Structure 1
Amino acid sequence: MARYRIGKFAIDESRCLISSQDYEQIVEPKVMDVLHTLYLNKGEVVSQEVIFAKVWPNATYNPSSVQRCIALLRKALQEDAKNPQFIITHPKRGYSLEKVTEGQAKTLKVQFLPLLVVLLISFVVIAWQLTPQQKVNTHFNQLMPLTSSELNEANLSLSHSGKYLAFVRGDKESQHIWIKELLTEREVRLTEDAASYYALGWSTSDNAIAFVKTVDQTQSLNTLSIDLSRFLPLEQTTVSVFNDSVLTSHHIDWGADKRLYYIEKEKQNNDTRLVSLDLNTKQKTRLVTAAQQDWLLVSALSKDGTKIALGMEAGQNKYRIDVLDLTNRKLQTITIIEDGIQGLSWHPNNQALLISQRNQLIHLDLGGELQLIPFNNYQIIRDAQYTSNAEAILMELVNVDVDIVSQTRAKPDTLTKLVDTSSIDFLPVFSPDSTQFVFESHRFGLKQLFLYDNGKQTRIFANPDNHELFGIVWSQDARQVYTASKDTLFKIDLSSGTYESIPHGNHSFYLREMYHNENAILVSYRAEDGQTFHPAKFDLTSLTLTPFTGSGKRLSCYGMDLDEQDQIYFSNSNEVFRVNSHGDIETVWQAANNDIIGISVSNQQLAVTMEYADKVSFQRIDLATAKTERWQLAQPKQHMLINSAHDLSEFLYLTEPIRTRKLVKLQ
């Protein structure tokens, strides 16, 4: 591994260390690999495609991986992306690492210094004249609460003037809409009826708010006019009632042409689309319809009303940011990122976007350049937005608490809480003999794996790079546990507490079951419809991924398992199928209704789990004789069945998420 200097910084690739006399920063191995690639070609432009091929060989090209590493490198080198000293962005071409010319600088003769000074002054003047008046600030360090209420607060929306904040206060069906004058701290409640409110949006003149109200599962779109001089609500009007669709936007955008912009989802087929609604004619226009794996999540109207930014899930843990030009209806992709989008808003200069992503904020300019906005945070960020002068960021912080509960067949009325923390504890997976289980926990903002054994919890995988994890499987001898990130498999040894990283060049997949007779794992990956999954075999020796096909097309499934002969069983919502040794698909069992939520198979016994409104039904079918055993358990209210013991003697549930929401300002 090389050692070299970049400016005042010493680079130690073997230790992934960037340091100076008074500074040290450890970076991720992939980040150092990107720097190594640039260093080998210093002074030359290297395209994102070339960087990706060098650092992630055999993987599907994803520019956001390169952009993220560049952003982290600039942070480690303490340079501003808008005025970089070392890593230079060449729009549409790539990046370059500038050559260090300290040796040449020392040979300059004294007689050239006056000329150098004149040229330097001229350059500074020209640069100052060309610098935009509004410089983008990405350095914030103080986090402050926006209100003093102990109640949950969410769905913030800042007025166009920047003087008022609208938000929802309360829990579920007992919520109200409030507004707050930020300068005086004065607050007033706008709504009379308690209900579920969300998706707030101010009119361009700040004299009305659009919002969604839900009562008895009926969703309506409303407007409420406001007299800000007297700080009083005026007239409320119902604009539309949703029957065949539901509004899913985080907020409603209100254009100057009296049009409302929002995302809605069809109830029948779950298709999502961006629409506009004319407040005068009540006519609705479809602007963008998501196709195949795409799923519209968030939208944001630019401050000048000419563009709409869209954030959508694109499958395989990829999330795409597009911008729609409202004048010509052209859609342009800006970037692709990973690990979700929790909010999207525009910078006041209309030239950049602010992305809320789990526990971090990302600044994205329209050229596709990503820059992290660092601050200490371990909670989920939603709907962050700049203030009108861009000197602060307002956002919602959410803490989610999910626990793991046990129910036994012998004592179905007794629930035992096994894992109880103030964070998300979920996805428990029983060992082959069902005496212990491994689960994922998001304590302190880190995605880690813990082993639960006889009342004791032990961390087995610290996940130091905080990767998004995709499933857990046990080895057949219960000595190892496997989990996966998007491009790496992690083999964890339970006795030593160590793990092995196994990079692979395939697209991301979800771990399902360990093969019995091969060194392989049954996995699944997202189908093109964005809803179902395809099964595949991941070979641990060759690191190859083999999808299974039947009758000329890929199989789609929800639940899946392997028998002792490694035959694949899979189900949709009402049928169970088997892939036989010839690769043909056989129907094994069929339910009367669409209720199947899980299957397992062992010793020629097929166990099918079906969920109803207030109970869980189990059927065990002998595949040789077709003899069937049936029983059912009362499902604990507001609990989700997530895993069961191999003999169906114990069942693990997740409690209903408890969310604590607060509004804060980062400045």
Structure 2
Amino acid sequence: MQTFKLGPYSVEPSKGTISADGLVKTIEPKAMAVLCQLQARSGQVVSQQELFDAVWPDRIFSPSSLQRVIAIIRKALNETSQSPTFLFTHPKLGYRLEVPASEIPDTANSNISQKRRLQFFVCLLIVLGVLSVFFLSTYTSPPEETTFHKLPITHGNTAEFNGKLSPQGHWLSYQSDIEASQLFLVDTADLSSTTQIQFNHAIEDYVWLNNGIIAITRAKDGSTYIEQLSNIANSANAIVKKPFGQWRHIKALQIGADNTLYFVGKTSDLMHYIAEYDLVSDQSRFLHIMGETIVEKSLAYTPYGIYFHYFDGETKHFGRVSMNSEVEILAANTPDISKLSWLDSEQGLLVSDQLNAEQYIYRNDQLQHFKLTSEAIVQHVDNYGSRLVVTQSQPDSDVVQWQRIKGVDLFEKLINSKFNDYQATSNSRGDVAYLSTRSGYPQVFLKTKQATKLLFENKGKVSFIPPLLWSDNEENIAIIIDGLVVIIDTQTYKQRPLPRITNAKQLIQWKKHNLTYLDHNGDVLNYNVESGNTEFIVNKNESLIGVDNVGNQIGIKEGVLYWGTRKLALTTHERIRYVFALEEHIAVHIERLAGSKLIFLDEMLNTLLEIKLDSNCNNVTHAEYIDGDAHWLCTQFEANDSDIYLFEQAG
């Protein structure tokens, strides 16, 4: 079968295309294979397992892989899961493709079944052929590599970052952790000469505008300003400063046409937005809401719109805001944690993996390997012509233990490496389980008083692992890998995947044999690790974070913290980052514009202890309260040794 119809759409498996009204969309081979499987059994519910086995043979079932290609198919058919026309979801059962009756031949049912089976096998053979061609073209005939000459601009033990080139390439600029309110300039005709520009406040980000610089700065009280130096050649020019409206925590600043700034920022609701700011009218506008908790974010202004990439702690989001402000989600399989830069010389988007020293070019809806450097993480790239200014770094986050004992705060770095160590959780013996990416992919380590042991590694998969969970007997650790729950025995180091759990999103608590978790459908379930039985606790309740000893539910809903029937409302400028359900009380990490805090509450939601968190405590991952004293673990991002390099394209 070469072609089949879905309403107005014509599907051609051999070409990997879906077309209608002269518009042709290309989907990846895996998505076409799934569509062929569904079409061959149109009108029937096909289970996720059947689809996965047919298209991903010899691989462990992963719902996220299937959900991704389902989203690709729906996008090509201009429909959503909420308003389907052809592709319907049957929760916990599978998917069904509904072909209009007018397009089903009026023959006996047996003939229909036979034809559909034949259609699917022919379709599958075609898709496998396409996959073979794709594999050979991708891996046996790689594109010719671009080579560069590399010249260091900075070196030493300090962190220099955010390197950029002026519009004509005459100046190279960068920031340094030596002085947060200074910008450093290097004349590209004389690389030995460095000068500084002093701004009024700490620089969050900056861009070049003609021969001048626009910097977004933050005062000590948290207020944000836009500071502009119109011409760096004239040192007599004063820097003009004015408030930057409602915006806070500005990142990924870009300059576009018609004096428009694009950036990622927060407002008083503590949500992250992609926004634009008109320098002439001083008006800003939302372009895309990203969400509350964003691990990493990046923007790149290009001739085709503003590309964005961010990771919300569970899912990566890669897309583009067009010049007419339409948001399009792109299906390329980018690394989870990525930075974006537009390369004029390649007429493509550079995608830099932030966990591995690997880079890619996204061009013509395809992602290809691109070797810029394999020595370090490419944190930022700016370019003019064949010149690139590159910020290289080795990201470093450490695990810090804080204690408040008799009113005195003490801290100690428990995990202090030159790698990303995070999501630490402790037991009563002081053993610390934590995640690390020291090999470029997630690993689980256990640090005891005697030694540090590697418990688990997800080789070749740069997928995020949600927070770890200790069993109440403190002998086992549970982790989630692509929706699967794996139990690790901390004494024998044996691993045991739990059957029947394939769609886990977050682990909530583990009491006796019952492991409570949230799935991707928003349902909260109990799984008995001994019997393998599963029971629903509550449907569509992503707010639940725990259950106390007598069965009262603890959670967050619409900004209100509840424990059974008791409730505690927050102010409009506060947002709950995380809640830890302890035995007779709870600990709450609250994010505020004025700085984060950790509060401990009793079962009546009365405050037992309130702690203003250190500014370096980026994320609380564990908390305890005993007799008026507190203990908590933080992930702390370090000022890593990043440097600036000038790359010249060879030839």
The answer, yes or no, to whether TM exceeds 0.5 is: yes
Query: How do 1:410-559 and structure 2 match up within 5 A?
Result: 412=408, 414-431=410-427, 433-443=428-438, 445-454=440-449, 456-465=451-460, 466-501=462-497, 509-518=505-514, 520-523=515-518, 535=524, 537=526, 548-549=538-539, 554-556=541-543
Indicate if the aligned counterparts of 1:359 and 1:381 stay in contact, CA closer than 8 A: no
**Secondary structure at the residue paired with 1:61?**
helix
Matched residue, 1:214: 218
Q: Is the 8 A contact 1:447 1:468 kept in 2?
A: yes
Distance 1:504 1:386 in 2: 50
Letter in 2 for 1:368: D
CA contact (8 A) 1:395 1:665 kept: no
Alpha-carbon distance between aligned partners in 1 of 2:148 and 2:612, rounded to the nearest angstrom: 50
Change over 3 Å in CA distance of 1:190–1:420 after alignment to 2: closer
Q: List runs of 5+ in structure 1 lacking aligned partners.
A: 1-44, 67-91, 102-134, 528-533, 579-585
| 2:159 matches 1:157 | no
Per-residue deviation, 1:197: 1.7
2:309–2:316 contact (8 Å) kept in structure 1: no
Does 2:182 align with 1:179? no
Distance (Å, rounded) in 2 between the aligned partners of 1:288 and 1:359: 28
Aligned to 1:652: 632
CA RMSD of aligned residues (A): 4.6
- Counterpart CA distance in 2 for 1:380 and 1:476 is 39
Where do 1:58-97 residues align within 5 Å?
58-59=63-64, 60-62=66-68, 95-97=130-132
Change in Cα spacing, 1:444 to 1:245, as seen in structure 2 (3 Å) is: same
User: In structure 2, the residue corresponding to 1:403 is in which secondary structure?
Assistant: strand
Asked if residue 202 in structure 1 is aligned to residue 208 in structure 2, the reply is yes
Q: Aligned to 1:146, which of 125, 149, 153?
A: 153
The letter for the 1-side match of 2:228 is T
1:301 alignment counterpart: 301
Question: How has the CA–CA distance of structure 1 residues 258 and 145 changed in structure 2, closer, same or farther, with 3 Å as cutoff?
Answer: same
TM-score (norm 2): 0.66
SS where residue 33 of structure 2 aligns?
Answer: helix
C-alpha distance 421-261 of structure 1, shift in aligned 2 (>3 A): closer
2:547 aligned partner: 562
Among the aligned pairs, what percent are the same residue?
13
- Residue 449 and residue 160 in structure 1: after superposition, are their counterparts in 2 closer, same or farther (change >3 A)? same
Q: What letter matches 1:244 in structure 2?
A: Q
Q: Does 2:247 align with 1:268?
A: no
- Secondary structure of 1:96's aligned partner: helix
Letter in 1 for 2:367: L
Q: Rate the CA distance shift 1:155–1:164 in 2: closer, same or farther, 3 A.
A: same
Q: Deviations over 1:472-509 (max 9, x none)?
A: 11234433212123343332222332324569885561
2:566 is aligned with what amino acid? V
Question: 2:31 matched to 1:48?
Answer: yes
Displacement of 1:185 in angstroms is: 0.9
Q: Which residue of 1 aligns with 2:600?
A: 618
- How far off is 1:369 after superposition? 1.2
TM-score where L is the length of structure 1: 0.65
CA offset at residue 245 of structure 1? 1.9
Distance across 2 between alignment mates of 1:159 and 1:590: 51
Bigger relative contact order, structure 1 or 2 (CA pairs below 8 A, ≥6 apart): 2
* Residues 222-270 of structure 1: per-residue CA shift (max 9 Å, x gap): 332336xxx5546355375223223623233142x34444444322352
Verify: 1:587 aligned to 2:587, yes or no.
no
Is the contact made by 1:423 and 1:442 (CA closer than 8 Å) also made in structure 2? yes
Which amino acid is the alignment partner of residue 389 of structure 1?
Answer: S
Structure 2 distance, partners of 1:252, 1:393, is 16
Matched letter for residue 347 of structure 1: L
- Aligned residue type for 1:654: C
Letter in 2 for 1:246: R
Tell me the CA shift for residue 294 of structure 1: 11
What's 2:14 paired with?
Answer: none
Q: CA deviation at 1:637?
A: 7.3
Aligned residues of 2:30 and 2:69 also touching (Cα < 8 A): no
Q: Output the CA distance in 2 between the equivalents of 1:162 and 1:592.
A: 49
Contact 1:492 1:498 in 2 (8 A): yes
Find the aligned partners of 1:637 and 1:258 in 2 and give their Cα distance: 34
Describe the superposition over 1:265-309 as per-residue Cα deviations: whole angstroms up to 9, x where unpaired: 322352513214143xx253637233778979433222xx56332
C-alpha spacing 1:219/1:568, structure 2 compared with 1 (3 Å): same
* Matches of 1:272 and 1:633, distance apart in 2: 29
Structure-2 separation of matches of 1:338 and 1:537: 34
* 1:396 CA displacement: 3.9
Distance 2:178 2:202 in 1: 8
In structure 2, the residue corresponding to 1:399 is in which secondary structure? coil
SS of aligned partner of 1:147: coil
Give the residue type in structure 2 aligned to 1:618.
Answer: F
Question: Contact conserved, 2:432 with 2:446, CA < 8 A, in 1?
Answer: yes
C-alpha distance in 1 between matches for 2:143 and 2:237: 39
* CA 544–297 in structure 1, closer or farther in 2 if over 3 Å, else same: farther
The AA in structure 2 aligned to 1:301 is: Y
Contact map agreement 1:523 1:537 (CA 8 A) in 2: no
Q: CA deviation at 1:469?
A: 1.4
Contact map agreement 1:155 1:396 (CA 8 A) in 2: no
Give the counterpart letter for 2:546 in structure 1.
D
Confirm or deny: 8 A CA contact 2:309 2:318 kept in the other structure: yes
Q: Which residue pairs with 1:531 in the alignment? A: none
**SS of match in other structure, 2:639:** strand
Identify which of 367, 372, 379 aligns with 2:369: 372
Q: Tell me the SS of whatever aligns to 2:154.
A: coil
CA distance in 1, matches of 2:314, 2:598: 31
Give me the whole-angstrom Cα distance separating, in 1, the residues matched to 2:519 and 2:235.
52
- Does the aligned pair in 2 maintain the 1:359–1:377 contact within 8 Å? no
**Offset of 1:348 from its aligned partner?**
1.0
CA separation of 1:96 and 1:153: change in aligned 2, threshold 3 A: same
Q: d(CA) in 2 for partners of 1:359 and 1:140?
A: 23
- 2:535 and 2:165 map into 1 onto residues whose CA distance is 48
Give the secondary structure class of the aligned counterpart of 1:221.
Answer: strand
Structure 2 CA distance for aligned equivalents of residues 525 and 595 of structure 1: 23
- Provide the secondary structure at the position in 2 that maps to 1:62: helix
The aligned runs of 1:387-398 (5 Å cut-off) are: 388-389=385-386, 394-398=390-394
Amino acid corresponding to residue 168 of structure 1 in structure 2? Q
Contact 2:340 2:349 in 1 (8 A): yes
Quote the residue 1:399 is aligned against. 395
**C-alpha distance after superposition, 1:68-118 (max 9, x if no partner):** xxxxxxxxxxxxxxxxxxxxxxxx9994314999xxxxxxxxxxxxxxxxx
Change (3 A) 1:179 1:310: same
Alignment correspondent of 2:228: 223
